Amino acid sequence: MNAAWIFPGQGAQYVGMAASLLESHATVRRLYDAARERTGVDFATLSTQGPKEELVKTSNTQPAIYLHSVALALLLRERGLRPAAVAGHSLGEYSALASAGWLDPLDGLALVRRRGELMYQAGLDWAGSMAAVIGAEPELVIRLCAQVVAEGEVVQAANFNCPGQIAISGSLAGVERASVLLKENGVRLVKRLDVSGAFHSPLMEAAREGLLRELAQLVLRPGEAPLYCNVSGARVEDPEEIRSLLGRQLTETVRWQTAMENLLADGVGEVWELGPGRVLSGLLQRIAPTARSRAADKAAELDALLEGEPS
């Protein structure tokens, strides 16, 4: 089937995630057992039972979402299915790469866990925040962020998610100043996000440097499907280019809307969201209302997807 697989990022987690997959599939239980052996963390219990305050820690959230997403991809692969293309939102880019054979799932897990630790530490070292901007044109957000930067603060567009939905990220003062300017320019809603750092901004530079050291040791092999990357939204098929883009992703803007537009323009017939929640399916409907998409989070949804039923 000519379907692309897409994978969610941080924020999609919830207590109880992966419970039905672990109950129904030995393959998933083996993956989580191997993850515990590799990391020393019982992500099966943390994902299914919490507590929430531990699950939402960046160093735990990222590997928990990654494992849930990869588990779904492994089950599809067991049935002989392969993606026509892959993409993932921020953290989800690692799930995408593991699902298409670019990297070993357990190597990806270790890298994602380290990424989360580095991002959390950067958030402690350089206090920052993010805000959702609803109903603004990209050009206005870029212009006003540039004005704030010229005033000496740090802020930039962090995510272009879909028409009318953008996130900004930077220093506490930078995000606050940009928020005020956006409201003064008629933007109807600017809402502070509950995050532990200024993700996808220059304040993640220390995390990027640490991640680059980890990426230098990562084994990346040619995958079975192209990646539509976060940094440019373009189709990528070279392992070394992907290695570079994964490093850049921490401090640069996620161009999710562009990635989805390019993926669809290249002729993908259907898009499957694999992982907790349906955030990306909702974004896709805003980007391309006529696009065919389905989502699988729980075991019953995966069964419906495999049977071709609406999910």
Q: Give catalytic residues, as residue numbers.
A: 90, 200
Please give the Cα distance from 237 to 222 (Å, whole number): 7
Given a contact cutoff of 8 angstroms between Cβ atoms, the answer to whether 25 and 306 are in contact is no
Please give the Cα distance from 42 to 60 (Å, whole number): 10
| Rg of the chain (C-alpha set) | 19
Contacts (Cβ under 8 Å, ≥6 apart) of 300: 20
- How many helices and strands in the chain, by DSSP H and E? 14, 10
Given a contact cutoff of 8 angstroms between Cβ atoms, the answer to whether 6 and 86 are in contact is yes
Q: What backbone torsions phi and psi does residue 137 show, to the nearest 5 degrees?
A: -80, 145
**Secondary structure of residue 301 in the 3-state scheme:** helix
Given a contact cutoff of 8 angstroms between Cβ atoms, the answer to whether 24 and 300 are in contact is no
Please give the Cα distance from 244 to 169 (Å, whole number): 22
Given a contact cutoff of 8 angstroms between Cβ atoms, the answer to whether 235 and 226 are in contact is yes
Please give the Cα distance from 26 to 252 (Å, whole number): 39
Please give the Cα distance from 265 to 205 (Å, whole number): 33
Q: DSSP label at 293?
A: E
Q: What token pair was written down for 178?
A: 């940009």
Query: What amino acid is encoded at 94 in this protein?
Result: Y
Assess whether the previous peptide bond of 51 is cis (omega < 30° from 0): yes
